[in-house]
Amino acid sequence: MAGLFKWLLQKSRQSSDFSRSSADSASPPSPSPHLVQSSNSLANSSVNSPKQTSSTFCMNISSSDSARWNKLYDVCICHSEGDLEFVEQMVCYLESQPEHFRCFLQLRDAVPGGAIVSELCEAVQNSHCWVLLITSGFLKDPWCVYQMHQALMEAPMANGRIIPVLKDIDRRDYPRELKCIYYINVSVQEKVFGQVKETVMHYLQDLCQNASRSH
């Protein structure tokens, strides 16, 4: 009888130990303090780290060793004299931006006494991008057409450097030399200026990125 009682007591203890071990294995293990700290640090860094914005990148393109400074101007504005007021507003907008775009405006920046042909060619060659304000006056002005052809010679594939802006003319009058290049249609003036800025900015970003990779 004593032996039976002893056997039942041992079996009861074994059953109790097995239940405790099953419960321990069923509950998930608590993470180590090191893993918790690493996880929290990763989460905080992903939330708090600022994303790279265009204004952050502007600091890069404006650095002293930026490829942006390889030319005198960021953008050359090609236009007829009748569109001067619109162009002056565009130039004022671009030059007042945080990036301080350097614009060539013929009546303001051409050297007095310089030959028109030389001044127009140098303006095109010394600019990263060219805005062609295509109006009825532009199409009738031989100097505007000449400057457009100079821009096409500098960048036959465009590559974002030639920026046609169509204003107050029908689409069918769009120069056939530019048929392979998308244009900006003037509908809302402020929106057009922003589109021109973003296009110039995109080209300068690509220019600086490609230059940094080649070094």
Give 76's contacts (C-beta < 8 A, 6+ positions apart).
103, 104, 123, 124, 126, 127, 129, 130, 131, 151
Query: Would 145 be classed as within a structural domain?
Result: yes
Q: What is the rounded distance in angstroms from the CA atom of residue 44 to the CA atom of residue 205?
A: 30
The pLDDT tens digits for 32-61 are: 433 333 333 333 333 333 334 444 444 466
The domain spanning residue 173 has which CATH number? 3.40.50.10140
**Comparison of pLDDT for 25 and 91, the residue scoring more:** 91
Domain extent for 94: 71-214
The pLDDT tens digits for 127-149 are: 999 999 999 999 999 999 999 99
pLDDT at 62: 67
Domain count, the chain: 1
The pLDDT tens digits for 12-32 are: 444 444 444 444 444 444 444
Query: Would 78 be classed as within a structural domain?
Result: yes
Q: What is the pTM assigned to this prediction?
A: 0.70
